[in-house]
Amino acid sequence: DGGITQSPKYLFRKEGQNVTLSCEQNLNHDAMYWYRQDPGQGLRLIYYSQIVNDFQKGDIAEGYSVSREKKESFPLTVTSAQKNPTAFYLCASSTAGGPSAQPQHFGDGTRLSIL
């Protein structure tokens, strides 16, 4: 079955540490996205990418970095510069464009906490 796999499901970060969240999709989607969700809140866009080796900042990119070396993969690094990283992180993918209605497909998320 096609889908999006996020790992790990739970992640703990120590002070001053960078951590990387994995996101892999086998839907052959061009576009991939990272969102942050705080308790009781909606989704806020961190980064998004349309094609390999290209990505754009979303609304809350500070303290985060991404790479897109392969179409299937879009890892997110939460750097030590992100002072409040505790949140639920969701990865999504979709077709890059076109007139047809294409919803985003989501992974099951990663819960990140500070030790």
Partner 1 sequence: AQKITQTQPGMFVQEKEAVTLDCTYDTSDQSYGLFWYKQPSSGEMIFLIYQGSYDEQNATEGRYSLNFQKARKSANLVISASQLGDSAMYFCAMREAPYTSGTYKYIFGTGTRLKVLA
Which residues sit at the interface with partner 1, rule CB under 8 A?
31, 33, 35, 40-45, 48-50, 56, 58, 88, 90, 92, 94, 96-97, 101, 103-109, 111
Select 1 or 15, whichever has its Cβ closest to partner 1: 1
Contact 54, 31 (CB under 8 A): no
| Residue 88 CB partners (closer than 8 Å, separation 6+) | 36, 37, 38, 109, 110, 111, 112
Nearer to partner 1, 11 or 45 (CB): 45
Residue 11's CB is within 10 A of a number of other CB atoms, namely 17
Shortest spacing between CB 48 and partner 1, in angstroms: 6
